[in-house]
């Protein structure tokens, strides 16, 4: 057979999905077998992931994948969060959600032991309150952490339940702020100075490594035909998505859009200068030892959270927003005030009022404010990345769910003054599949992966506006807001 059948489990902040793909040297098609919502739950004041419900969704998805043989399965998901296991392998409590506020003020205390500059010079990871490092410091002294034998990042936890095997996948581990992206190994000195026990992490594995086989019980539950190998993929969803950027040249920037916008460059070595730290750029690891040099931008979360308040449909909002004059009010899409769940329209209104700008009065106006602000944040990230990494790009690839948002893509092209190539929307799942296909020897390297994507996926090109007045307006807006 020239192509094989794969399953990709891809867990996002608002939904999880199980996708089934046929992939080979000339084939790449993907269909959704099952999608399930990911709804965080607050108990006793702490925001959690409902991990058993997600796992049940994964099993439903594998059942829906059909009983034809699967060559392998791969799992990717969001970064930084983890579950703890006791010595018997039982989960100790539900994983805490990165939007929980338990890490407030923790980083500032950690920096008294290891200064922020030193921490960045080693780990290259941008400051975010939820980095695994700060979560572990927040949990220090808890009975739960004291009882823990193993720590598993979320995709690694699901892999463990499916196969019984323990491992720590490297691309995701690079988001813990405990890895040195220059060596691809743990920053042992940082960990020991901060009192973090690296022994909690099972051995590192890399994309393409085997991760065991589905346990007999799971084969029974899902009607899958044995044996079904699980392959380690780039288990950080953003790493999988970057692997699936359909670039045809070297000089590209990417924006992985979903709940977050992760905007930046693919490099061969980390950039850990002071300037880079001050600009809050991160050096996460990608496949083949590449570095994902990017900035985390609050992303479509701002809009998703508004939609929860409004219960209006997105299509209508985007149509109305497209007709509203550009750049009337802008917010800083990186402002930590927007991180936690809650009344988003009100927080945006407050931010506009506090900066003396017109306060959006309707959902469509708020939507426009969000999309303009996001496009501007994309521009700033891509400009800064080029300057800090001393590289230049001539195209911006938008992948992930936001690739379907034509208004956001056009505004991003206008703001950046560069063509935007949008798609694939299911980049994380495709990157997941392609790494599995490569592990089977069906595809040679990441360049072939990208060429296959460019040949097989439907992509949409957005040219920046040629209108000099509009270009000037974006330049002025960029000076007005810091993001
Ligand atoms: C995107 C993502 C980002 C990470 C954030 C939190 O889904 O993985 O890369 O910063 O979620 O884990």
- Look up the ipTM and state it: 0.96
Contact (CB, 8 A) for 246 and 459: yes
What H or E segment, with its residue span, contains residue 148? none
What distance lies between CA 480 and its chain's CA centroid? 28
Q: Smallest Cα–Cα separation from 244: which of 458, 431, 421, 438? A: 431
Q: Which two tokens stand for residue 342?
A: 């809650």
CA of 130, closest atom in ligand 1: 6
Q: Using CA of residue 339, residue 340, residue 341, residue 343, what is the dihedral sign?
A: negative
88-114 confidence digits (pLDDT tens): 999 999 999 999 999 999 999 999 999
Provide the pLDDT for residue 483. Answer: 44
Contact (CB, 8 A) for 374 and 330: no
* 255 Cβ inside 6 Å of ligand 1: no
Q: How far are the Cα atoms of 326, 466, 472 from residue 469, in angstroms, in the given order?
A: 12, 9, 5
Could you list the pLDDT tens digit for every one of the 483 residues in the chain?
Answer: 577 999 999 999 999 999 999 999 999 999 999 999 999 999 999 999 999 999 999 999 999 998 899 999 999 999 999 999 999 999 999 999 999 999 999 999 999 999 999 999 999 999 999 999 999 999 999 999 999 999 999 999 999 999 999 999 999 999 999 999 999 999 999 999 999 999 999 999 999 999 999 999 999 999 998 899 999 999 999 999 999 999 999 999 999 999 999 999 999 999 999 999 999 999 999 999 999 999 999 999 999 999 999 978 999 999 999 999 999 999 998 888 999 999 999 999 999 999 999 999 999 999 999 999 999 999 999 999 999 999 999 999 999 999 999 999 999 999 999 999 999 999 999 999 999 999 999 999 999 999 999 999 999 999 999 899 999 999 999 988 754
What's the 321 CA to ligand 1 centre distance in angstroms?
27
Provide the pLDDT for residue 481. Answer: 76
Q: Whose Cα sits closest to atom 11 in ligand 1?
A: 78
337-383 confidence digits (pLDDT tens): 999 999 999 999 999 999 999 999 999 999 999 999 999 999 999 99
Q: Smallest Cα–Cα separation from 159: which of 258, 6, 11, 5? A: 11
Q: Smallest Cα–Cα separation from 98: which of 40, 17, 57? A: 40
Distance between CA 264 and CA 280 in Å, rounded? 12
Q: Smallest Cα–Cα separation from 330: which of 276, 383, 372, 379? A: 372
Distance between CA 469 and CA 463 in Å, rounded? 16
Q: Which two tokens stand for residue 62?
A: 């594998």
Provide the pLDDT for residue 479. Answer: 87
What is this structure's pTM?
Answer: 0.97
Backbone angles phi, psi at 15, to 5 degrees: -155, 160
CA of 238, closest atom in ligand 1: 9
Distance between CA 177 and CA 351 in Å, rounded? 30
* 80 Cβ inside 6 Å of ligand 1: yes
Q: Smallest Cα–Cα separation from 367: which of 335, 319, 332? A: 319
Q: Smallest Cα–Cα separation from 283: which of 437, 171, 402, 167? A: 171
Q: What is the dihedral angle through the alpha carbons of 29, 30, 31, 36, rounded to the nearest 10 degrees?
A: 180
* 79 Cβ inside 6 Å of ligand 1: yes
Provide the pLDDT for residue 442. Answer: 96
CA of 13, closest atom in ligand 1: 7
């Amino acid at each position: 057979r020239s192509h094989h059948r794969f399953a990709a489990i891809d867990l996002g902040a608002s939904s999880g999905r199980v996708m089934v793909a046929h992939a080979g040297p000339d084939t790449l098609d993907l269909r959704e077998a099952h999608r399930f919502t990911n709804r965080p739950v607050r108990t006793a004041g702490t925001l959690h992931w409902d991990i058993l419900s997600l796992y049940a969704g994964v099993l439903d998805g594998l059942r829906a994948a059909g009983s034809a043989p699967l060559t392998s399965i791969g799992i990717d998901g969001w970064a930084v969060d983890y579950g703890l296991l006791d010595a018997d392998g039982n989960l100790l409590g539900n994983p805490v959600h990165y939007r929980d506020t338990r890490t407030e003020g923790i980083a500032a205390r950690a920096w008294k032991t290891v200064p922020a500059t030193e921490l960045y010079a080693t780990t290259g990871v941008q400051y975010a309150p939820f980095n695994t490092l700060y979560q572990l410091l927040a949990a220090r002294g808890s009975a739960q952490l004291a009882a823990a034998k193993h720590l598993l990042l979320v995709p690694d936890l699901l892999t463990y339940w499916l196969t019984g095997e323990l491992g720590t996948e490297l691309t995701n581990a690079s988001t813990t702020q405990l890895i040195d992206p220059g060596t691809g190994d743990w920053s042992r000195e940082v960990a020991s100075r901060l009192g973090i026990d690296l022994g909690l992490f099972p051995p590192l594995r890399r994309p393409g490594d085997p991760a065991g086989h589905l346990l007999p019980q799971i084969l029974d539950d899902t009607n899958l035909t044995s044996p079904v190998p699980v392959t380690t993929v780039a288990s950080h969803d953003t790493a999988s998505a970057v692997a699936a950027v359909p670039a045809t040249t070297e000089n590209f920037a990417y924006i992985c859009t979903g709940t977050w916008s992760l905007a930046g460059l693919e490099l061969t070595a980390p950039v850990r200068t002071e300037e880079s730290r001050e600009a809050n750029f991160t050096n996460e690891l990608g496949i083949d030892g590449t570095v994902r040099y990017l900035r985390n931008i609050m992303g479509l979360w701002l809009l998703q959270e508004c939609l929860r308040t409004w219960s209006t449909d997105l299509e209508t909002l985007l149509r109305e927003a497209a007709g509203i004059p550009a750049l009337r009010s802008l917010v800083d899409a990186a402002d930590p005030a927007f991180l936690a769940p809650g009344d988003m329209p009100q927080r945006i209104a407050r931010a506009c009022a506090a900066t003396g700008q017109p306060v959006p009065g309707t959902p469509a106006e708020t939507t426009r404010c969000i999309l303009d602000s996001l496009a501007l944040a994309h521009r700033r990230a891509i400009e800064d990345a080029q300057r800090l990494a001393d590289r230049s790009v001539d195209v911006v690839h938008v992948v992930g769910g936001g690739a379907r948002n034509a208004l956001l893509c056009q505004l991003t092209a206008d703001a950046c003054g560069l063509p935007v190539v949008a798609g694939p929307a299911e980049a994380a799942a495709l990157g997941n599949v392609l790494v599995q296909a490569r592990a089977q020897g069906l595809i040679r390297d990441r360049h072939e992966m990208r060429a296959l994507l460019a040949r097989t996926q439907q992509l949409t090109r957005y040219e920046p506006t040629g209108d000099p007045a509009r270009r000037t307006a974006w330049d002025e807006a960029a000076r007005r807001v810091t993001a």
